[in-house]
Structure 1
Amino acid sequence: MFEHTFVGLDVHASSVVGCALDPVTGELERGTMAAEPAVVLDWIRRFEPPVKAVYESGPTGFVLARTLRQAGIDCVVAASSKLLRAPGDRVKTDRRDARVLAEMLAVGRVTEVRVPDLEQEALRDLSRLRDSAARDLSHARQHVNALLLRHGIRYPKEHKWTLEHGAWLRHQRFDDPVLQFTYESAVEQADLLHARLKRIDQRLAVIASDCQYAPVINALMCLRGIQVVTGFGLAVEIGDWTRFTGSSIGSYLGLVPSEQSSGTSRHQGPITKAGNTHARRLLVEAAWQHRRPYTGPGGRLTRQMDLVDTGTRIRALEGNHRLHHKWQLFDARAKTPVKANTAIARELAGWCWSLAAPLQHEHQHGERMNAA
């Protein structure tokens, strides 16, 4: 059954262009307004309900979607990377974009993204803040290393950024006062960023233990390579694991091969790298840990498994053995390590889903029972 009106919204920081489509008559009505949710709501309310609205995901976030939903208007956010555009379409304007969104919504060709609530979005922002802080620290340390290397100074030991390495850095001196000031400032910046990252990690660990995703985080941390930062990041980035299956989670994270096939010809290329970039990177980093020797859970994993139920514990043990065995098979075949690790990351995503989804299914079922 058609809704009475489909509304496409081209949303920018300061303005919104709307296009309302009646699928029965084909009539279009357009409007340009300020990028204020209340103003957009007033414009949409001009049309006889039921009304369904859509706009593209982007930097403007989900404030508009939440406002419209609270007012009783069905609003979805479209995945911008999944919108279909004709290859020969060389004209792009706000009015055309709004109309295309309305038309795609009318025929059911919009791929929706999940709209998190305010708490879920805050947790995700914290995860991304931590990721940004880690990148800033890495760049600052690279700058210090590069500055020393340019002047022929090399640390004599293998492991850097230890207490011993820090003391060695502070004893380096240059004859040129300008260069000395530059060097000291670079080291100071690296120290400050390290302290900042440490504060974020401490706060994140406290929040992870008491947030709505705590059971999922505890379950994910039963897998090798996943500790609190990675478990927290995966939990808040994916949010509702029940949206996926064990096979579709890899596609969502862009860990499946790209493909170019026609007729009898079939060619698979590099992974698609679609979907959530942050979650994919966390899985790829965690997958390397499964290459290390493994006979059973160590002290950390043993303590972590005491926090979860028996079914989760058994599943995690199976996953750890399976992923290490896969790495052994890849090494025996002399598989390129980077390619092998990507395959392990794809399977690790499935194991994560097998731990998280049942917990969320059980929680959702409990909520429905309580509501009844």
Structure 2
Amino acid sequence: MSSEQVAFIGLDTSKLKISVAIADGERNGEGRFLGDISSEPASVAGMVKKLAKRGAKLHFCYEAGPTGYGLYRQIVELGHQCSVVAPSLVPKRAGDRVKTNRRDAISLARLHRAGELTSVWVPDEAHEAVRDLVRARDAAFEAQKQARQQLHSFLLRHGRYYTGRKAWTRAHGRWLASQAFDHPAHQILLAEYCQTVEDAGARLDRLTN
């Protein structure tokens, strides 16, 4: 191949492996499945090095997902182009319901060659770190909300109603501390629910501050 030619590489990624397919630059050329490799960086580097020997410019792509952007950064650092595409915007053929790693990789390679894929913005490591922190804080907020609801529902089932102006204040905390049950099992549950609320609040505070 001449250095002016381009090869489009579709990667179907998962936690442990990556399925690799290639579509050469000719628009009507067939996409070919090259096989599966480990998702370990060393395996990725070996795959990229092998494909680079073909002499074509390599344009990689894979769908955004839980595997993150490490693969993108590695390919770019190796000197090649890479696009992370929006899964919801990948064109689907009518009636094409059978999904396999092999088929998806070939489809990505062909669609990438045809310019029919929509790339997402890839954050740098600093942006991604902040984004992860925000996600963790949101999850902590939901965990606190759920813990409070469980405690509230438990107390309501046993006719315990807080009559103060606002829940989850110091006054509400003193009211909770004053609650007691005759049955040991209920007393254990009360202590566990209160501790869960306290732990969830502390975690949220740590992630916020």
Contact 2:19 2:36 in 1 (8 A): yes
Unaligned runs of 5+ in 2: none
Q: Percent identity?
A: 38
Which residue is 2:193 aligned to?
186
* Structure with higher helix content: 1
Letter in 1 for 2:203: R
Which of structures 1 and 2 has the larger relative contact order (alpha carbons within 8 angstroms, sep 6+)?
Answer: 2
Write the mapping of 1:126-205 to structure 2, written as runs, cut at 5 A: 126-202=133-209
For residues 32 and 155 of structure 1, what CA distance do their matches in structure 2 show?
60
Alpha-carbon distance, 1:36 to partner: 1.7
Contact 1:10 1:56 in 2 (8 A): yes
SS state at 1:84 partner: coil
What does the per-residue CA deviation read over 1:68-117, in whole Å, with 9 as the maximum and x for residues that have no partner? 00011101111111111123112111010001101110111111111112
Which residue is 2:44 aligned to?
40
Contact 1:3 1:52 in 2 (8 A): no
Alpha-carbon distance, 1:38 to partner: 2.9
Alpha-carbon distance, 1:3 to partner: 5.3
Alpha-carbon distance, 1:64 to partner: 0.6
For residues 188 and 158 of structure 1, what CA distance do their matches in structure 2 show?
23
Deviating above 4 A after TM superposition, structure 1's stretches of 4 or more consecutive aligned residues are none
Contact 1:13 1:60 in 2 (8 A): yes
Does residue 101 (structure 1) correspond to residue 108 (structure 2)? The answer is yes
For residues 138 and 64 of structure 1, what CA distance do their matches in structure 2 show?
35
Taking a change above 3 Å as real, the CA distance of residues 129 and 3 of structure 1, as seen in their structure-2 partners, is farther
Letter in 2 for 1:52: H
Contact 2:14 2:39 in 1 (8 A): yes
SS state at 1:112 partner: coil
Contact 2:7 2:25 in 1 (8 A): yes
Letter in 2 for 1:15: K
Which residue is 2:35 aligned to?
31
What does the per-residue CA deviation read over 1:307-332, in whole Å, with 9 as the maximum and x for residues that have no partner? xxxxxxxxxxxxxxxxxxxxxxxxxx
SS state at 2:122 partner: coil
Q: State the TM-score, normalized to the length of structure 2.
A: 0.91
Aligned length: 201
Letter in 2 for 1:41: A
What does the per-residue CA deviation read over 1:297-356, in whole Å, with 9 as the maximum and x for residues that have no partner? xxxxxxxxxxxxxxxxxxxxxxxxxxxxxxxxxxxxxxxxxxxxxxxxxxxxxxxxxxxx
For residues 126 and 40 of structure 2, what CA distance do their matches in structure 1 show?
22
Does residue 7 (structure 1) correspond to residue 9 (structure 2)? The answer is yes
For residues 191 and 88 of structure 1, what CA distance do their matches in structure 2 show?
52
Taking a change above 3 Å as real, the CA distance of residues 146 and 68 of structure 1, as seen in their structure-2 partners, is same
Contact 1:5 1:21 in 2 (8 A): yes
Larger Rg: 2
Taking a change above 3 Å as real, the CA distance of residues 26 and 44 of structure 1, as seen in their structure-2 partners, is farther
Contact 1:130 1:197 in 2 (8 A): yes
* Structure with higher strand content: 2
Does residue 84 (structure 1) correspond to residue 91 (structure 2)? The answer is yes
Cα-Cα RMSD: 1.5
For residues 204 and 132 of structure 2, what CA distance do their matches in structure 1 show?
15
Alpha-carbon distance, 1:120 to partner: 1.3
Q: 1:18 aligns with which of 13, 17, 20?
A: 20
For residues 111 and 174 of structure 1, what CA distance do their matches in structure 2 show?
59
